[in-house]
Structure 1
Amino acid sequence: MQQVIELFLTDSEKISDDLLNRLLSRLPDAQKAKALKFETHKRRREFIVGRTLLLQALVTYNAFSALPDILEKPSSAPELKGVNDWYLSISHSHQLVCCVLHNSPIGVDIEFKKDITNPIEKSHFFMTAEEVAELELLVSDEAKKHYFYQVWCTKEAIFKALSPAEQNTTSLHTLPYSGVVDGEKRWSIFDTDIENYHLSLAYMGKVERVQLRQIDLLSLI
């Protein structure tokens, strides 16, 4: 198992249209075709940047004799064709886009921490009664906001790490924020704040560290 998880991260708002088109031209044909189907510039940009980070991750790990084809799924994360022992996850929020590749199930989620008018009321759709009770004990608005996004991102990351079959029978509300399932620690959790964003990573097993790699997309051209 990998001893270090590298998480690739970039700011997509700083990308010019010219650079975006150059990144698009470097994508495999299947990804080019899907990118051009997005009607909004924002979604197209997020997709192109996410797939560019994925390609960079594949090259960085150097675990493949030839880069595997990326299979696009209609409503779930892409998969690597013919590769059963590598897993990937992509997330984006506002201008930040991140991607992670690992040799065991993994999920990443990043969220921009906007102000929440009534965090307790809005927490019921993804928190358990115990988690809501813990939120209610917090005094300051900032502490409530931090806990809200910490739990939300962690549960989203765990959900993304599940197999499609497990996702079909799972809701965020029932997912364990602690990563403990049936009394056993199934998921290891890494989370951090990046300016006004919260990022959570869920993965199986133990690693020495999680390393964030800020990617300058212009340097890839």
Structure 2
Amino acid sequence: MPANNPAAEIRFWYTRTESDASENEQQLLQLPCAQQQRFKSLRHPRRRQQYLSSRFLICSALSDLFDQPLNYWQLEELPNSAPVIHNLPTPGYISLTHSKELICFALSSDRIGIDAEYPKASRDFISAAELFMNSTEQESMPDTVARQQDYFYRLWCAKEALYKALPAAEQARTTLASLVYNDLITGTGPWHLYETMLDQYHIAVVSLSSIKPDSLTPRLLRCK
């Protein structure tokens, strides 16, 4: 499908990580064999939980959409990236994000990136901004802590989402500081930004397709 296609479909699902051992075992047994093996190779409890919940979310969302069993999907795991799904019925792009207990998964017929962040009011926003904001963005930092927090996480989510939407070769030569938030909100360039809050979480979705709030409704999957 051509880039910047306003008719492209964007779907967005989310879930919460499970902590019940019986639910974990039930989810694991429904996943493709490759993901079961990957889960068993992980040692850190939190990483195991995030991995299980995220892969179960992906398989549940795709199975719900395309009417296939959960273990049908062929996921290739990549380092520091969302997995590649080799047997999607129609060509598409995916993006995955997790923050604290929230996991989000997006599917689109155009390039897409999604990011979620749970705000931490205690962080030094001015110092942390130096890691990913350009000088103009840093100079625009608000005066009050509450407004700093909102500004910080809006820019962080938007830039992370845009970075994830870029092709791998372009990611390799891109820094977050080189990405300009104002270009996203003014529509400069090919990318479109959708921002929202999901409970306390900041959410940003960036796509080559135009994103209309009334057409992008996050769908909760309880993943039982």
User: How many residues in Structure 1 have an aligned counterpart in Structure 2?
Assistant: 212
Gaps of 5+ in 1: none
User: What is residue 72 of structure 1 aligned with on the other side?
Assistant: 77
Higher strand proportion, which one?
A: 1
* Equivalent residue number for residue 120 of structure 1: 126
Structure 2 residue 146 is the aligned partner of structure 1 residue 142: yes
TM-score, normalised to structure 2's length? 0.86
Deviations 1:13-60 (A, max 9, x none): x44111011111111111111111221121111111111111122223
Matched, 1:190 2:169: no
Partner SS state of residue 205, structure 1: coil
Tell me, yes or no, if the aligned pair for 2:15 and 2:104 is still in contact at 8 Å.
yes
3-state secondary structure, aligned to 2:218: strand
Which of 94, 102, 109 does residue 96 from structure 1 map onto? 102
**Match in the other structure for 1:156:** 160
CA RMSD in angstroms, aligned pairs only: 2.2
1:53 equivalent to 2:60? Answer: no
Q: Normalized against structure 1, the TM-score is what?
A: 0.87
What amino acid sits opposite 2:156 in the alignment? W
Distance 1:185 1:63 in 2: 37
Partners of 2:110 and 2:19 in 1: how far apart?
32
Give the distance between the partners of 1:189 and 1:88, measured in 2 at CA: 16
The match for 2:138 is: 132
Task: Tell me how far apart the structure 1 counterparts of residues 67 and 9 of structure 2 sit (CA, whole Å).
Answer: 14
> Following the alignment from structure 1 to structure 2, what is the Cα–Cα distance between the partners of residues 34 and 106?
25
The aligned residue for residue 206 of structure 1 is 210
Conserved in 2, the CA contact under 8 Å of 1:157 and 1:202? yes
**What letter matches 1:124 in structure 2?**
E
The corresponding residue for 1:108 is 114
Partner SS, residue 106 of structure 2: strand
Name the counterpart of 2:177. Answer: 173
Tell me which residue corresponds to 1:81.
86
Q: Amino acid of the residue matched to residue 170 of structure 1?
A: T
1:9 corresponds to: 14
Measured after TM superposition, the shift of residue 9 of structure 1 is 0.9
Distance 2:144 2:125 in 1: 12
Contact 1:153 1:198 in 2 (8 A): yes
Percent identity over the alignment?
Answer: 27
Q: 1:100 to 1:117 in 2, by over 3 A?
A: closer
Alpha carbons of structure 1 residues 47 and 35: separation in structure 2 relative to 1, 3 Å:
same
Q: 1:207 to 1:156 in 2, by over 3 A?
A: closer
d(CA) in 2 for partners of 1:99 and 1:9?
Answer: 6
Residue-by-residue CA offset, 1:85-140 (whole Å, 9 max, x unaligned): 311111111111111111111111111101144211110110011111111xx232
